[in-house]
Amino acid sequence: MRFLITGIGGFAGPHLARALLDAGHTVHGVVRRRGSMRALEPLHMQFGERFPSGAVITADVLDPRALLGAVAEARPDGVFHLAGVTYVPASETDPLAAHRTNFFGSLNVLRAVGEVRPECRVLFVGSGDAYGAAGNEFSMISEEVPLQPVSPYGVSKAAADLAAFQWHWAGGNVVRARPFNHTGPGQDSRFVCSSFARQVAEIEAGQRPAVLEVGNLDVIRDFTDVEDIVAGYVALWERGEGGEVYNLCSGRAVPIRTVVDELRAQARSAIEIRVTEVRRRPNEVRRLVGTAARAQSKTGWRPARPLAETLARLLGYWRERVRAKV
């Protein structure tokens, strides 16, 4: 099969590309800036002719014509639409930019597919953040829970998610995923687990004082390994019901404190904790935990990796990055 991944240079993109290449598929990708292609170098090395750098096309999802060209060139049977603004505080600084990229960008991707490859199935990547404040009300969020996004990011993802439903209703072929928090090697260190793991690696290397700076430790999230999430994208693309929406999450309620404790337990040196105000986000929800029962019963998908293992791989990633820099 032939697949096109938008945002292939982002966090989940390279993991998904590897999963598809490992399964023998042909993979093309779209990046906004050529700089994002660096994350793909290991894949070009590993897969050689099967995944040359020419398979990655530069196109902004806000540029309909460039998208049409990318879809025409890739001739995909399936599109995984991962491209978007993913960092919540960035959406608070510039909501309109997030709405444009995440909402209008998604519409552009759907339209380009509709024009050039109308039979192609699109896996739309939304977000558990679309539920927002509902997380405080429901101990396990199912797809039936009313959307109450608390950040412009959550609004932009919810809006695109509903647009993807409408696109399917009007004749397109879309399955919608709502991944909750996920982490693993390659994640930007602005995100909570990656921030902590990076700090630990830098502390171990003597590059910073033995103090881990953290935000609100009582916040509860549902973390899944990025490898499990991309396996979920593939499972939904293959076996999800057209138009339907599926949570992808672990169902584990993990206080941020647990992430910190686990990383400290794995650290090679003693580390203190300091709660800093700047790391507390305004208006964030106390709890956001989902159930992926629908995805599990429809596709058999099930997250496999324990959190400690995910954090160990994340910490290993940062140790290597820190070493490489020294």
| Smallest gap from residue 30 Cβ to a second copy (A) | 20
Binding residue count for a second copy, defined by CB under 8 A: 31
Which of 236, 269, 234, 258 has its CA nearest to residue 310? Answer: 258
**Distance, CA of 16 to CA of 27 (rounded, Å):** 10
| Smallest gap from residue 85 Cβ to a second copy (A) | 15
| Smallest gap from residue 81 Cβ to a second copy (A) | 16
Counting contacts by CB under 8 A, is residue 61 touching a second copy? no
Helices 192-204 and 307-325 cross at an angle (nearest 10°) of: 50
Rounded to 5°, angle at Cα 283 from 281 and 286: 85
Q: How many residues does the chain have?
A: 326
Q: Which residues contact 34 (CB under 8 A, 6 or more apart)?
A: 58
Q: Do residues 12 and 182 touch, judged by C-beta distance below 8 A?
A: yes
Counting contacts by CB under 8 A, is residue 103 touching a second copy? yes
Q: How many Å separate Cα 218 from the centre of its chain?
A: 23
Choice from 62, 90, 140, 162 touching a second copy (CB under 8 A): 162
DSSP 8-state class, residue 104 = I
Counting contacts by CB under 8 A, is residue 99 touching a second copy? yes
Report the residue number, 205 or 293, with the smaller CB distance to a second copy.
293
| Smallest gap from residue 133 Cβ to a second copy (A) | 6
Q: Which stretch binds a second copy (CB under 8 A): 50-58, 103-111, 225-233, 315-323?
A: 103-111
| Smallest gap from residue 158 Cβ to a second copy (A) | 5
Mask 122-161, x = binds a second copy (CB under 8 A)?
A: --------x-xx---------xx-xxxxxxx-xx--xx--
| Smallest gap from residue 58 Cβ to a second copy (A) | 23
Burial category of 48 from C-beta neighbours within 10 Å (exposed 0-12, middle 13-18, buried 19 and up) = exposed
Q: Which stretch binds a second copy (CB under 8 A): 168-176, 224-232, 269-277, 312-320?
A: 168-176
Q: Do residues 223 and 250 touch, judged by C-beta distance below 8 A?
A: yes
| Smallest gap from residue 218 Cβ to a second copy (A) | 19
| Smallest gap from residue 251 Cβ to a second copy (A) | 20
**Distance, CA of 48 to CA of 227 (rounded, Å):** 22
Q: Which two tokens stand for residue 265?
A: 């337990």
Q: Which two tokens stand for residue 46?
A: 């590993």
Under rule CB under 8 A, which residues in 78-97 are in contact with a second copy?
A: 95-96
Q: Do residues 200 and 259 touch, judged by C-beta distance below 8 A?
A: no
Mask 270-289, x = binds a second copy (CB under 8 A)?
A: ------------xx------
**Distance, CA of 153 to CA of 124 (rounded, Å):** 16
Mask 237-276, x = binds a second copy (CB under 8 A)?
A: ----------------------------------------
Name the CA radius of gyration of the chain, rounded: 19
| Smallest gap from residue 155 Cβ to a second copy (A) | 5
Which of 145, 76, 58, 63 has its CA nearest to residue 116? Answer: 76
Choice from 169, 190, 272, 276 touching a second copy (CB under 8 A): 169
Report the residue number, 146 or 306, with the smaller CB distance to a second copy.
146
Report the residue number, 101 or 187, with the smaller CB distance to a second copy.
101
Which of 298, 288, 196 has its CA nearest to residue 249? Answer: 288
Decide the pairing of beta strands 224-225 and 56-58. Answer: unpaired
Q: Which residues bind a second copy (CB under 8 A)?
A: 95-96, 99, 103-104, 107, 130, 132-133, 143-144, 146-152, 154-155, 158-159, 162-163, 165-166, 169-171, 282-283
